[in-house]
Structure 1
Amino acid sequence: MSNTTDTLRLALLNRFLKGEAKIPQMPEAAVRIRKLLDNPMTSTEQLVRVINGNPPLAAYLMQFSSSPLMRGSRPCGSLRDLLDRLGTRQLADLVLGFSLQHLFESTDPLLLQAFRLRWRHARERAAHCAVLAQRAGVSMDDAMLAGLLQDIGSLPLLSELENWPEVPRDSATLEELCESLSGNLGALILTRWQLPPSIIECARLYGQWQREHDGVADMADLVLLASAMQAGHEPEEPLPVQKKLGLEQPLATLREELADELSMWKRLLA
């Protein structure tokens, strides 16, 4: 990183740490659903009414009605059927994942373009996470959300850059800033949102491909492997996270093995 970019990075990070730059609130739709789910008096009928009041959200949720996320031998025929089978945490995670795309607004076309690219990458990472979760025997919905949120720190950074017209808008500069600051800012946002520590850790470790730690594999290992696969990395030796997860074949081979499942999850998450 050049001295100029390094100085800019530190200045931006300092604004967030001092509370001078805006940290986004959890999306309103996700907050509303979580409040309903936290209330033991909330009925399925109430949830159906609220979700049907947001047709794009209802359509998004119904896409998962016949996915591996659902338990049972038959697909869900209605939103009520779907909600009866989804766990409360699954529903909260899916609503939050859907709502994230509306967190960023900008009048700067280059910043908007950068956001759309990173959001597409986030969806692809979430698809990789879902497939790897099936292999690793961990919760698919937790893994998908962790994948979507791993780069959440880029959103407030791109929003803040609206106030910095002197910062070049070329893709290389924007990517360098996002890559270097996403982990710190992501952990800050998800801590404010009071999400589980395992999800916060996934964001904090953004881009740390060579992560090593004691103990068994955790969610951060899975998300880092998904991120490496999605980004097209081809390391000469298996990554430490691959060894933790018992998936030591070359990443190109792993992508090929998972291609059909990945295609399905990418369609669902689009």
Structure 2
Amino acid sequence: MPTTADTLRLALLNRFLKGEAKIPQMPEAAVRIRKLLDDPHTSLEQLTRVINGDPPLAAYLMQFSNTPLLRGNRACTSLRDLLGRLGTRQLADLVLGFSLQHLFTSQDAALQQAFRARWKHARERAAYCAVLAQHIGFSMDDAMLGGLLQDIGSLPLLSELEHWPDLPRDAESLHGLCEALSGDVGALILTRWQLPSAVIECARLQGQLQRSHEGAADLADLVLLASALQTADEFTEPQPSQLKLGLERPLAELRNELADGLKLWKRLLA
């Protein structure tokens, strides 16, 4: 027999699937930059001027001026230089990642606290994804975005709960709700945002650490491994994603190998 919690979760999920619950729009800053990047007439000067008009965003981007994300061996000395060397997709992804933290605000202290905790976890997962990608030769910007957006479904779930006063507000219940429903809701959001299918798949598979599949390792394997590394002490056996990625050693040992690089990426993504 389904529990009361299961029944409420199913009812909540159905509201999203039927279009009755609000799906967030892509952040305005990210939409604005993507439109500029899609326009072949946009000049580097125009793009620089628009981003300089948002000082926090410009400062965030300049943090990446001396990282493996960039082509070339020298650090960038100006925003214009940085934008000239970032790929179009890289820039769009970095702007989207920066903008996500402003999508959720709530007067409900418990919901706001839950969002902050999950957003912090998402940033850490993205950092693990970046350092793993650097370690094994995956696309670093794809990896960061996949890690950052894997749990995007939690954002509208927590927002919708403002209209569900009967659902428990303790941290454990909110965590369980997000873990159960984030994947389905996240895939819905990222499909609406027209993001790449590989990134959508990362969200859909949120929490499915035992996922097994035929063929070569993919982006979802890397993101799932990053999630496992966040809780490495819980696992004694190699995870399926490790086997796919050729990293067959204890998770705690792998985490120690990545520790130095992880500090850099956590600072950049904070």
TM-score bucket (shorter structure):
over 0.9
Q: Aligned residue for 1:165?
A: 165
Q: Aligned residue for 1:27?
A: 27
Secondary structure in 1 aligned to 2:232?
Answer: coil
Distance 1:136 1:186 in 2: 27
Q: Which moved more, 1:2-11 or 1:52-61?
A: 2-11
Structure 1 position 105, deviation (Å): 1.3
Q: Map 1:9-48; keep pairs closer than 5 Å.
A: 9-48=9-48
Q: Map 1:105-120; keep pairs closer than 5 Å.
A: 105-120=105-120
Q: Aligned residue for 1:7?
A: 7
In structure 2, the CA distance between the partners of 1:59 and 1:204, relative to structure 1 (3 Å rule), is: same
Aligned residues: 270
1:149 to 2:149 alignment: yes
Structure 2 residues without counterparts, runs of 5 or longer: none
Secondary structure in 2 aligned to 1:21?
Answer: coil
Q: Which moved more, 1:69-78 or 1:58-67?
A: 69-78
The TM-score with structure 2 as length reference comes to: 0.98
The one-letter code sitting in structure 2 at the alignment partner of 1:120 is: K
Q: Aligned residue for 1:76?
A: 76
Structure 1 position 2, deviation (Å): 6.8
1:232 to 2:232 alignment: yes
Structure 1 position 47, deviation (Å): 0.6
Distance 2:5 2:232 in 1: 25
Distance 2:98 2:78 in 1: 19
Secondary structure in 2 aligned to 1:194?
Answer: coil
The one-letter code sitting in structure 1 at the alignment partner of 2:171 is: S
Q: Map 1:48-127; keep pairs closer than 5 Å.
A: 48-127=48-127
Structure 1 residues without counterparts, runs of 5 or longer: none
Structure 1 position 233, deviation (Å): 4.7
Structure 1 position 138, deviation (Å): 1.1
Distance 1:57 1:257 in 2: 31
Secondary structure in 1 aligned to 2:100?
Answer: helix
1:189-213 deviation line (CA, Å, top 9, x unaligned):
0000000000000000000011100
Q: Aligned residue for 1:179?
A: 179
Query: CA RMSD for the aligned pairs?
Result: 1.1
Secondary structure in 1 aligned to 2:211?
Answer: coil
The one-letter code sitting in structure 2 at the alignment partner of 1:39 is: D
1:211-242 deviation line (CA, Å, top 9, x unaligned):
10000000000000001112335422211110
Structure 1 position 70, deviation (Å): 1.5
